[in-house]
Amino acid sequence: MTPTAIQATFDTMRAGTTARRVSFGLTERRAALDRLAAAVRANEATLVQALSDDLGRPMAETILIDYLPVLQEIRHARRHLRSWMRPRRVAPTLATFGASARILPQPRGVCLIIAPWNVPFALCLSPLVSALAAGNAAILKPSELTPATSALIARMIADTFPPDLVTVVEGDKDVAQHLLALPFDHIFFTGSPAVGKIVMAAAARNLTSVTLELGGKSPTIIGPDAELKQAADWITFGKFVNAGQVCISPDHLFVHDSVKDRFVTLLRARIARAYGKGPASPHLARIVSDRHAARLTDLLADARQKGAQVTLDQGADGRAIGPALIEAITPEMRLDQEEIFGPLLPILPYSDLGQVIDRINARDKPLALYIFDRDQTRIDRILTETTSGGVGINLTVVHYTQSNLPFGGVNTSGLGSSHGHHGFRAFSHERAVLRNRFLALPILFAPYGARTLRLIGLIKRILG
């Protein structure tokens, strides 16, 4: 789509903003969600093929992380939409006793959703579910790094919605920059912290609100009382699903000295059972591009050169990179500094939990933190003394699928929340409405005589 066409589409959507507030009610929003669900179901096989082409993704993974989450989000939104849309009454305060107060959720207007390449279908359409549920129009910008999935989304949306309600704009970063220059009413971006800063700076020029779903080095702590087989199962899944190209995958493991050797043995066996012994496993996705594959092989080479011990290396063949376990990590290694976003897993032994907590707190706040332990005191200490977007206890990754929980980061790992009611609120303006019924406040209006001062003194005593 040309810049002129983008501008025309945006202008058409913006012109319909007022009309949509009136005409796009509960019935129409549910119908839009139903149309989206039907389109997703009709394109299941095409989606599986597209993500096989783009990421070498196994069918089961595509269904689990790109297909089902969208249908779950639609089902949840449709079920709860009536209550979400209903104005919420709030209690009066002392100053407003005699007035009724309510919060009226209204659509923000025309929204921009910029999706990433790693989970390109769900992370484009799940925010759209929230945008439609909240009554907005939306322009979707899929990632150019997954062209087959991007083309599928464009065809599917064009066949499902009128262009003044939902439109897909395909293209590279130049197209994204043109979109970001437009005065959208809300921008929902999923991607890296570096690009998130660019998005936020562009939004600031138009004072546009943003939701940023970013990333970071999500740590995993394995305590001395952890159920080690359970930990090995969940970490193998969470780290190597989509070949580690997941923003909430475990980035590195802190493993207590007393269980490290047993845990690593179990982890190696679980990896072998899941993916075999080479990089070309049919159960392991491929890296998205040659450039990203080269970045990962460079990270591993840098760690080796600086003294790391690679205790498991299933090798690489182009964009196929097998799981690797790395020990003897030091701070000067790039592996310890950068978000890995691939199937390389550093293992760091520890004896003092306090030092682990200090190390986590010395870094940017992660999008996710995982704890494997059965000791509630230690779990509570970690929860109390650290900050992260979300936490998984004795599991990884699947907290993303809990529609009743907010999903989002903190500072460099994100801004704002999504999913379920939290996503609805992100795409809504919560309008405050106060209606006078029998407010007594006028007795305090000027002129300020002795009676007014006595009443003010009484209010001061009541308020302490």
**Residue 318 DSSP symbol:** T
Per-residue confidence (pLDDT) for residue 464, from 0 to 100: 80
| Structural contact between residues 77 and 198, judged by C-beta atoms closer than 8 angstroms | no
Known catalytic membership, residue 61: no
Q: Which residues contact 377 (CB under 8 A, 6 or more apart)?
A: none
Spatial distance between the Cα atoms of 426 and 429, rounded to a whole number of angstroms = 8
pLDDT tens per residue across span 4-34: 999 999 999 999 888 888 889 999 999 999 9
CA angle 147, 148, 151 (to 5 degrees): 80
Query: Beta 252-256 vs 99-107: how paired, if at all?
Result: unpaired
One-character DSSP codes across 329-358: --TTSHHHHS---SSEEEEEEES-HHHHHH
Spatial distance between the Cα atoms of 256 and 355, rounded to a whole number of angstroms = 12
CB atoms within 10 A of CB 188: 30
Known catalytic membership, residue 247: yes
pTM across the whole model: 0.95
Per-residue confidence (pLDDT) for residue 1, from 0 to 100: 81
Which parts of the chain sit beneath pLDDT 50?
none
Per-residue confidence (pLDDT) for residue 280, from 0 to 100: 86
pLDDT tens per residue across span 77-111: 999 999 999 999 999 998 899 999 999 999 999 99
Q: What are phi and psi of 319, to 5 degrees?
A: -85, -5
Domain annotation for the chain: domains and CATH numbers:
3-214+411-431 (3.40.605.10), 219-401 (3.40.309.10)
pLDDT tens per residue across span 313-366: 999 999 999 999 999 999 999 999 999 999 999 999 999 999 999 999 999 999
Is the sign of the CA dihedral 248, 408, 427, 172 positive or negative? Answer: negative
Per-residue confidence (pLDDT) for residue 277, from 0 to 100: 84
- Set 73, 213, 327, 339: catalytic member: 213
CA angle 14, 20, 25 (to 5 degrees): 155
CB atoms within 10 A of CB 439: 15
- Set 61, 111, 247, 339: catalytic member: 247
